Structure 1
C-alpha cells in the first residue's frame, strides 16, 4: 500500500459537507446522527476525485465501453495481485453496473434452476435477489448466539442435497464483519464440488480488511474456477457507489462465452465515470487506502472502548473487515433497538431485522465517521437503550 511517507490523509467531512455529499445517508432530520447505510463520512481520495473531475472537463458523459474495458481490467488485476496475492487474467474482468446487478447477472446466466443458499444475517439489499431470477431463496441461518459466525458445512451439504444449486457467499461478510479463512473456503469448496453446485462470491469489502485478518478471494482457492465467479468493486472502499461501476470476475472461459452471448439487456450499462474512478482507485489509490484502513482500525478500537464504558451489555462480534459492526443489544430489552435509537436517541442505525428476519435487539452500526461523532453516537445510544 505504500509507506507512511506516501500516504494521503483521510479527511473528515463536516456535517454541512456530508449533507451535500451523501444525500441518502445524511438525508435525515438535522437533529439525527446517521450511522446506517454503508457510506463513509470522509472526503473522496483527491486522486480519484481528480480523475473524475478531469473526465467531466473532457466531456466524458457518453456510453462506456461495452463488455470489456482493458484499462479497468488491468487496473483491477494489478490491485488484486498486490493486495490479495492472486490476480485473474484481465480477460476475466467484466464491468457491471453494481455488485447486486453482477450477482443477478451471474445467477441468471450461469446458475442452474435450483435454489440459492443465502447465509443470514445477510446483506439486506440481496434478500429477494434469488426470486428476482426465478429461483428459491434458501436461508442458511447463523444462530444469533454464535460468537463467531461460521457457515455450517453440514447444513450447507443438506441444502444442496435437497436441490439448491448456488451459494451466494458474501466475504468479507456484511453485516458479520467476518473474514473467512482459506481453510473455511476450502471446506465450502469441497461441499460445492461434491454436489456440482456453484458459488457467487460478493467480495466488495475486500479492500477493507482490518489489521489482524487477511482477505482470501474464493477464486484464489484451488479447484474453484470452473464453478465460481466473484463480484468486486472499488466503490465501497473509495466512497464512489453513486458512480455505478463494479466488476464481475469470471475465470472460466466457457462462462465468459455464455455471458458474451447474452443480449445487452442482461447487463445494465455501467457508468464511464464509474469506470474511470475505479481505474484511478485500483491503480493510484493505495496511499489513501492505507490511511483509510488505519483510520477504520482506530475507529473499531474506539467503538469497543465506548461500548465497554457506556453500553457494557451490548455484544459486538469481532469486526475483522468493513466499517460495519453487528451489535446485539437485546440485553437492554428492546425488540426493535433501531427504532428506539431513533426515537429516544436521535441516532439512525440499521435494524437487525432487515439482515436476519426474526432477529430482535440487533442493529448494524456504521463507524466510518469522525471520532467525535462516533463518541456522540454511542452516548446517544446509551441514553436511548438504558
Structure 2
C-alpha cells in the first residue's frame, strides 16, 4: 500500500508516502475512535456533558499532525515552559507568511504578523484601539457566539445584520451593513470561512463588502481562523487581498487552532495593516502576552510541516459533510441543510420539525449536545450548529439519536 513503515505516536496512524494512502490511513484511524475513547481523552466537548454526544464546541476528534506532536514533545523534553522568545515569535511569523503565500497566494510581510492568545484577543484589541469610543460592532448573523457577547463587556453595542438567502446559500446583506455603519458602526466583523454556516466567500462578495466599509470609513476584523479548512471547488480568498482599501482597513485574525486542533495551546496571529503597526507597538503587549510558547511551537510546525496531514483531514471531513446530507435526507428530511463550503460546522435549519426557537434544548434532553441556534444571534432561532469533525460512526449515531428524539415526540 505504499507505507513508509513507521507509525506516528499516540494514534497509530501510519506515515504514508502519497496523498491517497494518507487519506485512507487517516480515515481508518478516525473511524476506529469510539465515544469511549473520545471521553477518555478528556476534551471539553466530550466531558462537559458526559451523558451526551458532544457536538457543540468547535473541536475536532482526530488529534493533530505527527509533525506537530513531535515539535511539542521536543519542546517539553527541553522544558520550554517560559515566556515567548523573539526567535520563536519571528519563526511563527515567517511560518504563517510562508503558508499564506503557498496556500492563498497572499504575500504577507512577516513583520506585520503578531502573536496573540486567540482570535478574540485580536477582536478586543481592534475594538478598543482601532475604532472610535462607543462606536457599534456590526455583526452579520448567525455568528460565532462570543462576537455577540464580548462587545457589551467592552462597552460597545452590537448591531445584528441577518444574512439573507440566495438560493441555497446565505449571503451578506450589503444594504443592511451599510445602514448599520452609517448609523454609527465602527467595526464590521467578517468571518470567512463563515462560522456557523460554512460559507466561503468569493472575491466578488468580499470586494462588495470592502466597498461598503470603505464608503463609511469603517474598519473590518477579518476572522479567518477556518481558512485552512476549505473543500474542493472553493478557495479561500483573504479579505485583505481584494483591494487596496480592504488591505488598509482590515485587521486579519488567523490561527492553526481549528485546522490542526490546537485551541487549548492558546496561539493565534493578527496580521496588521502597515498604518496600524505603530499603534500596535504601543498597545499590543497586553494581547501578545496571552500567546503561549508551546502554542507558538505547535503552530509553527503546523504551518511548515503539517500540510499533508491537514489535506488528509479535509478529505475525511469532505466525506463527513456529504454523509451528513445523505443521513438527514433519509432520517430527517424536514431538516434544511446545505453542506458547508469550508469549516467543519453544519448549520441545520430544523424549523420544519416544530421544535420552537430553541431546538438545541430539545436535542440536549435527548442526549445530543449541539449549539443552540439563538446563541448565534436572532437569525439562529429554530436552528442548531453541529460540529461534524467526528468519526463517521459517531456521526451516524448522532443523526440516529436526533431522529429518535424527534419521532418520540
**TM-score normalised per structure 1:** 0.94
Equivalence for 1:193 = 214
CA contact (8 A) 1:244 1:270 kept: yes
CA contact (8 A) 2:122 2:287 kept: no
State the alpha-carbon separation in 2 of the partners of residues 21 and 276 from structure 1: 22
Is the alpha carbon distance of 1:76 and 1:330 closer, same or farther for their aligned partners in structure 2, counting shifts above 3 Å?
same
SS at match of 1:207: coil
CA contact (8 A) 2:200 2:230 kept: yes
Alignment map for 1:269-280 (pairs within 5 Å)? 269-280=290-301
Alignment map for 1:306-385 (pairs within 5 Å)? 306-335=327-356, 336-344=358-366, 346-357=367-378, 359-385=380-406
How far the C-alpha of 1:263 sits from its partner, in A, is 6.5
State the alpha-carbon separation in 2 of the partners of residues 306 and 265 from structure 1: 47
Q: Does 1:232 pair with 2:254?
A: yes
CA contact (8 A) 1:316 1:326 kept: yes
How far the C-alpha of 1:276 sits from its partner, in A, is 0.3
CA contact (8 A) 1:68 1:93 kept: no
State the alpha-carbon separation in 2 of the partners of residues 143 and 5 from structure 1: 38
How far the C-alpha of 1:38 sits from its partner, in A, is 0.6
How far the C-alpha of 1:44 sits from its partner, in A, is 1.7
Q: Does 1:242 pair with 2:264?
A: yes
State the alpha-carbon separation in 2 of the partners of residues 245 and 300 from structure 1: 27
Q: When the two structures are aligned, how many residues end up with a matched partner?
A: 383
How far the C-alpha of 1:265 sits from its partner, in A, is 3.0
CA contact (8 A) 2:142 2:379 kept: no
State the alpha-carbon separation in 1 of the partners of residues 279 and 178 from structure 2: 27
Q: Which runs of 5+ in 1 are unaligned?
A: none
State the alpha-carbon separation in 2 of the partners of residues 59 and 68 from structure 1: 15
Once the two structures are superposed, residues 175-212 of structure 1 have per-residue CA deviations (whole angstroms, 9 ceiling, x without a partner) of 01101110011001111111111111000000001112
SS at match of 1:206: coil
Once the two structures are superposed, residues 301-352 of structure 1 have per-residue CA deviations (whole angstroms, 9 ceiling, x without a partner) of 10000000000110013410111100011111101221211223x1111100
State the alpha-carbon separation in 1 of the partners of residues 211 and 144 from structure 2: 24
Once the two structures are superposed, residues 195-253 of structure 1 have per-residue CA deviations (whole angstroms, 9 ceiling, x without a partner) of 11111100000000111211110011121222111000001010110000000011x22
Q: Which runs of 5+ in 2 are unaligned?
A: 1-16
How far the C-alpha of 1:5 sits from its partner, in A, is 6.2
Is the alpha carbon distance of 1:159 and 1:29 closer, same or farther for their aligned partners in structure 2, counting shifts above 3 Å?
closer
Equivalence for 1:4 = 19
Q: Does 1:287 pair with 2:299?
A: no
How far the C-alpha of 1:53 sits from its partner, in A, is 1.1
CA contact (8 A) 1:101 1:268 kept: no
How far the C-alpha of 1:111 sits from its partner, in A, is 1.8
State the alpha-carbon separation in 1 of the partners of residues 372 and 48 from structure 2: 16
SS at match of 1:165: strand
SS at match of 1:37: coil
**TM-score normalised per structure 2:** 0.89
Q: Does 1:158 pair with 2:179?
A: yes
Is the alpha carbon distance of 1:194 and 1:380 closer, same or farther for their aligned partners in structure 2, counting shifts above 3 Å?
same
